[in-house]
Each structure stands twice: as C-alpha cells, then as structure tokens.
Amino acid sequence: MSRHLLSVDSLTRDSVNHLMHVAARMEPIAQRRQVTRVLEGAVLGNLFFEASTRTRVSFHAAFCRLGGSVCDTTGFTFSSMAKGESLYDTSRVMSGYCDAIVMRHPDQGSVAEFAAATHVPVINGGDGPGEHPSQALLDFYTIDKEFTRLGKKLAGAHVLLTGDLKYGRTVHSLIKLLSLYDPMRITLVAPPGLEMPDYLIDLVASRGHRVEQRTSLADDYADVDVVYTTRIQKERFTAEMSEGFSLSRDFTVDRAFMDKRCGRDTIVMHPLPRDSRSEANDLDVDLNGDPRLAIFRQTDNGIPVRMAIFATLLQVDELIEKDLRPVRWFVPERVGVDDSAL
C-alpha cells in the first residue's frame, strides 16, 4: 500500500489480504477485550467538510483504540477554507500538527489534491461521488466474515448492488475491490438515471467478472449471496434531477423482498445512514432483528479495519502483539438490544 489511502486503485489483492489479516488481529481490541497503546503520542487530524456520523466517529474511535489522540473539525463554516484558504495550504498546515489525516470533502478529487501537498499519511473518508476506500475494505471484511460463518466462498459468489449506483461512492469503491478477486457474478439494479458508471462496469467485466444490469428488484434473486443496498444521494442531484424525483417500492429492500425473492442465508448490507422515513423507500426497518441483516455487524467491523489501516500506514502493524493487555472496565456481552446471536 502507498503512503496514502485515496482510492481502491492503490490497492492490490496482496495489500487487501494484508489489511484483512491485520484487522482480524485487531478484533480483541475493537471488541474491548484488550487494550494497546501502540500509537501513544500520535495525533490524528479528522477533517470532515461534509456531514458524517459513522465514518468520522469510527475513524476517531479506531485511532483512540490504538492509543492515539484526535483533533476534529467539521464543516466549512469553522475552517479556514471559509476564509479562502487553499487545499494546499490547509494540507501543509495540518501536516505540521498531525501524524495522520482523514479527510472528507464534497468535491471529487479534492482529497487527492490535499494529499499531494504532504508526506503525512492521508486517508480518503469520502470525496463527493468519487470513492470511499475504507468503507469498501470494511464491506469486504464483513462479506468475508459472513461467508466464513455460512461456509461460503467468495469465488463464484453472486452479489447484488442496488440503489443509487451513480452517486454512491461506497459501491464505486466496493465493485473495484471485488474485481481484484476470483470471478463472481455482480447484478446491478438502479432507478433510471442512477445506474453504475460505464467505466466501472467495463473495468469489472475486463477482469473476468459477469456483470448484469436490471431495472427492478421484482425478479428472482434466490441465488444471491449478498444484497448491498444504498441510500439515494439526493444531495448530489442537479436541480433538474431533483424536480419530481421519487423512489418507488420497487427498489425497497424489506422483509417481504427478502422472504419472497432471496434465500434464507442471503445477507443484507448497507453503508448507512439508511433513510428510515417510509416515503424514502430505503432499506426497511422491518428487517431489524433478522439475522440476515448484517448492517450493524458491518459498522462494528469498521473499527478493526480502520485500526488496521492506521497501523499499516504508520508502520506499527507488527508491534501490536507485543503491546496488549486486558481491559479493566465493564463490557456488555452484546452491544445492541436486538443483536442476533449467530
């Protein structure tokens, strides 16, 4: 892996496998059974110029669990960019304060521009409709864990990606990452105008994967192993697209769809947040408590994966085993009241 993590394009199959291995070693720390201080004294700059809860807090928590400390900034209003400061100047200044930087920005390519001005490791926390590489890594880690639990293999798997495939940066990164592995079947279902970009379809097909596009979830998906659904990114719509747009129930993943169209061991994933309002027709809350719903196991997996990213970029991944001790505080057996016992 290069000194930054800006795109899945910088990853190889070997580097992904290494991160997955390190993430597995981080599990006892992420699950609050052990403590490490391997990044004690290190400071993370968490720069989020676009709304975020999970990603921002997840990176923050991951760095703290490695013993580091975090400086946060959120939004443009309270940053010097509101005064006209360039990405270059912001990058150089923050690099003097921090040992690693996570950045989210609404403009595609902005994080790469920021990273070009520094040798301090920079992680892309999402750049507009571009990419979200750490999300793809935690998604892949989740799929691998779920497949291991179910006795399935990634090679030959059938993955359904649905929702906003045009502006959804998480699916852009995930489909690239999946394409690094043995051939599988990928089905794409999107509302009109929100289809996966052609260049990504061509890339995945050129690597030997079978890619199929459909226009509805009303088909039979009994052989699908993973349903990965995404929220419609209305904040990225043009005024023309926004006018009169509504999403029908034809694109909603709910219990009825899962029971009627999918298999008993099909797992459901979503990068979150999901829009829980009934008119949004996003991933339905009626699946809460269903063991097929992996979204909260998915978010939990973000901690060990992001810990692995920090440890690898800051070159302490080989020191973890030598710097562990048990936790001293109370840790509940299950975090959520509806968490399924698998």
Q: Are 1 and 313 in contact (CB under 8 A)?
A: yes
Question: What would the pLDDT profile of 99-121 be if each residue is shown by its tens digit?
Answer: 999 999 999 999 999 999 999 99
| Closest alpha carbon to 44 in 35, 56, 31, 52 | 56
Residues 6+ positions from 267 with CB-CB distance below 8 Å: 143, 146, 150, 225, 226, 227, 292, 293, 294
Directed axis angle between helix 198-206 and helix 169-178, to 10°? 10
Q: How far is CA 124 from CA 11, 57, 287, 326, in A?
A: 13, 15, 31, 32
Residue 235: pLDDT band with limits 50, 70, 90: low
Confidence at residue 56, expressed as pLDDT on a 0 to 100 scale:
95
Q: How far apart are CA 199 and CA 229, in angstroms?
A: 20
pLDDT at 238 over 80: no
Average model confidence (pLDDT) for the chain? 90
Confidence at residue 276, expressed as pLDDT on a 0 to 100 scale:
80
Average pLDDT rounded to a whole number, residues 36-56: 93
- Structural tokens at position 176: 């690239």
Q: How far apart are CA 169 and CA 197, in angstroms?
A: 11
Task: Report residue 228: phi and psi, to 5°.
Answer: -115, 110
Residue 193: pLDDT band with limits 50, 70, 90: confident
Question: Between residues 246 and 141, which one has the greater pLDDT?
Answer: 141
Query: Which own/partner contact pairs does 271-278 have at CB distance under 8 Å and 24+ positions apart?
Result: 271/132, 271/135, 271/139, 271/168, 271/170, 271/230, 271/231, 271/298, 272/54, 272/298, 272/299, 273/53, 273/54, 273/231, 274/231, 275/231, 275/232
Confidence at residue 236, expressed as pLDDT on a 0 to 100 scale:
53
pLDDT at 333 over 90: no
Directed axis angle between helix 133-150 and helix 13-30, to 10°? 80
- Structural tokens at position 182: 């043995």
Confidence at residue 249, expressed as pLDDT on a 0 to 100 scale:
66
* Coil, helix or strand at residue 129: coil
